Structure 1
Amino acid sequence: MNARIEVHQLEWEEGCNIIVGQSHFIKTVEDLGEIMAGSVPGIEFGLAFCEASGPCLIRSEGNNADLIAQAVECARITAAGHSFYLIIKNAFPINVLNQIKQCPEVARIYAATANPLQILTAETGQGRGIIGVVDGFSPKGVEGEKEKRERRELLRKFGYKY
């Protein structure tokens, strides 16, 4: 049996983050929607889920029509069974990842990023699945004392350290 490997560049609104994962059940759509709605005051999100049986539809939820449309486009481009695409605004993945990981249907998180993101898929006669991601760019060097100081300052600016 042969598989074809492809690279899919995902795109979404500047200033937002995307979380890409895999789950096992259509219930994911409503459960992740509820997690988002109750996680961070003012969070906006769009969610798309690729159903992998029955009618095999892209299911969606969210509270921002533009983000929903962008998530659906990411799902359409990738077209990998049981994958989900959650685009968030006014929050960071760190604010919601633990809740998402605790969702009973979620099997894996592939990426949580604001960086350019490519999804690697393998396609067989049965369908398509995610085999990996390329998140951002390759390292250009090793941080020195100046970069360590800047990293620490950035975390404190965001309020993640005191």
Structure 2
Amino acid sequence: MAIRNALTVAAGHTFIILIKEAFPLNVLNAVKSCPEVCAIFCATANPVQVIVAETGQGRGVLGVIDGYRPKGVEGENDIRERRQLLRKIGYKL
């Protein structure tokens, strides 16, 4: 699936990582520490659309559309649940 998506984007100097049954945050720091990585457009479990521009020189990624419109603002209970999830997956102490 990552190869198919990379071929669809067809932009130079890009790579796509897909992870099954894991949280993107668990590998984000490892990817960022790779010296060849200049930018990360997103690390998400949401549906993503890639914005690509094409010139006579080639194609490049301008950005991504990550997920849907917000449904609202977090309340105290939402914040507590989000923090518990981050602790559960080992992202936050």
Deviations 1:29-55 (A, max 9, x none): xxxxxxxxxxxxxxxxxxxxxxxxxxx
The answer to whether 1:121 aligns with 2:56 is no
Q: Quick one: distance in 2 between partners of 1:129 and 1:111?
A: 16
Paired position in structure 1 for 2:76: 145
Structure of larger gyration radius: 1
The answer to whether 1:101 aligns with 2:18 is no
State TM-score, norm by structure 2.
Answer: 0.84
Amino acid at match of 1:113: T
Q: Judging by fraction of residues, say which structure has more strand.
A: 1
Label 1:109 to 1:136 Cα distance change in 2 as closer, same or farther (>3 A): same
Question: RMSD of aligned C-alpha atoms?
Answer: 1.8
After the TM superposition, which parts of structure 1 deviate over 6 Å for at least 4 consecutive aligned residues? none
Amino acid at match of 2:79: K
Q: Quick one: distance in 1 between partners of 2:61 and 2:53?
A: 7
Unaligned runs of 5+ in 1: 1-69
Q: Quick one: distance in 2 between partners of 1:157 and 1:119?
A: 30
Please state how far the C-alpha of 1:161 moved relative to its aligned partner: 4.5
SS in 1 for 2:31: helix
Q: Quick one: distance in 2 between partners of 1:160 and 1:98?
A: 10
SS in 2 for 1:89: coil
Q: Quick one: distance in 2 between partners of 1:159 and 1:103?
A: 21
